[in-house]
Structures are given as C-alpha cells and as structure tokens.
Homo-oligomer: A and B are copies of this chain.
C-alpha cells in the first residue's frame, strides 16, 4: 500500500523544506563532484547507523563515490529499485488501473509497485494487484523486464490470471476496469513500460506464444 508515486519525488522536497533543521552533529555537507542532479536529490548526508555526517568519496577497492561514515566505518551503498507488477488477464480482457497518485495522476497503468524486502518478485506482483485493484491473481510467468537507468529503476512485469472479476480501486487507484484490446486507452497510458508490455502482450497473444523480453527505456518518460 505504500504510495508508488509519493516516493520518487520525496528527496528534494524534503531537503528544501527542512534544510535548516539539522541537529548539532550536522557538518558542512558539500555536494560531491561526479554526482548528477537526480542522484543529488537522494543524497545521503548522515550515517543511518551512528548518526555522524558522511563524506562522499571512492572507498578503497571501489570505483564509484559512496557515502562513507568515517565515525563508524559504514559505507552506504545506493542501488536501483525494483518495481514488480503484472498483466492480469480474464478471458479476453486485461485489468488496468487509473492512477490516483502522482506521477501521472489520472492516467492508466498496470498494477505495479516497489518490491518489498523478504518477498519474491512474483509475490510482490500479486500483492500490488491486490492493493491497487483488490484483484486476486495467479502469477504465471515473467513477461517483460525493463531497465530505466536515468531513474535507477528496473521493472519486472509478469503475466497473471485474474481469478475473478470482483475488482475495485485500492487507495492508489481512481478506477479499475477490464478492457478488451480495442478498449485500451493507448493515448492515456501512464508509462512507457505499460505501453510496451501491452503491445508485446497483444502481439504474442495473437501469435499464440508468449516470450519473455528485456530492454532499456532511455526516454525522459518511462
């Protein structure tokens, strides 16, 4: 139920709003060189283990700058986030959700969200269908995998069987519906990964055979 969209924008806003609220241990935190605008939004300033200010430098034996705590030795790695979701299918119809959250409020998507610790990718995909559309699904197979390097995210979308049509909007959805191929709102889809996944799905269904695909999405809009 965590807000999919609330997260991607939180870093910079929080920093601006609370930049004067550093406690007494705060040290002058300089923006490190070699850090892009996007990375800087999520910049680590303090050690989450001991609370000391961190420095941004390349640790010995490493090749990239990390947030390093010289007080306790912790190195704070930052890694891509996994988003897991599915294409829930019932007969010839596909379940889609109208987003109640930013980004892309009011546009249509497939149920998907950030994978949680201590769950499998398939479990996460089923959980998101339940949370966003009160939809019970059987996850069938991995279908599309997209890297989106400029936002450091990887999407893993599964094919899924919708067990019944008793679906309704979760808190992150304004509306959910089952659509046939000619009812898909192609010009109102929230993300490139949704469009590509649906295009592949429809082509593969016609061909009678589904193939797992991977690729990168480099455009400014996912």
What is the interface of chain A, defined by CB distance below 8 A to chain B? 1-3, 7, 10-11, 14-15, 17-18, 21-26, 36, 38-39, 44-54, 61-64, 67, 71-82, 114-123, 131, 141-142, 145, 147, 149-150, 152, 154, 156, 171, 211-214, 216
Docked Cα-Cα span, A147 to B74, in Å, equals: 26
Q: Chain B residues near A78 (CB, 8 Å)?
A: 117
- A190 and B147 CA atoms in complex are apart in Å by 27
Sampled A-B contacts (19; CB under 8 Å): A14-B49, A14-B72, A14-B73, A24-B24, A38-B118, A46-B51, A51-B52, A61-B171, A63-B131, A80-B115, A117-B152, A120-B147, A120-B149, A121-B145, A121-B147, A121-B214, A122-B214, A123-B147, A212-B214
Of the residues B39, B51, B79, B171, contact of A51 by C-beta under 8 Å: B51
Interface of A is mostly: loop
| Copies of the protein in its oligomer | 2
* Contact of A10 (CB < 8 Å), options: B26, B74, B120, B212: B74
Q: How far is the CA of A156 from the CA of B18 in the complex (A)?
A: 38
Q: A18-B73, A23-B50 are in contact. Are A149 and B61 (CB under 8 A)?
A: no
Chain B's nearest CB lies how many Å from the CB of A70?
11
What is the CA–CA distance of A81 and B123 in the complex, to the nearest angstrom? 16
The smallest C-beta distance from A25 to any residue of chain B, in angstroms, reads 5
A171–B21 CA distance with the chains assembled, in angstroms:
42
Q: Are B46 and A216 in contact (CB under 8 A)?
A: no
Complex CA–CA separation, A214 to B78 (angstroms): 25
How far, in whole Å, are A149 and B116 apart by their CA atoms in the complex?
9
For the complex, give the distance between the alpha carbons of A21 and B73 in Å: 11
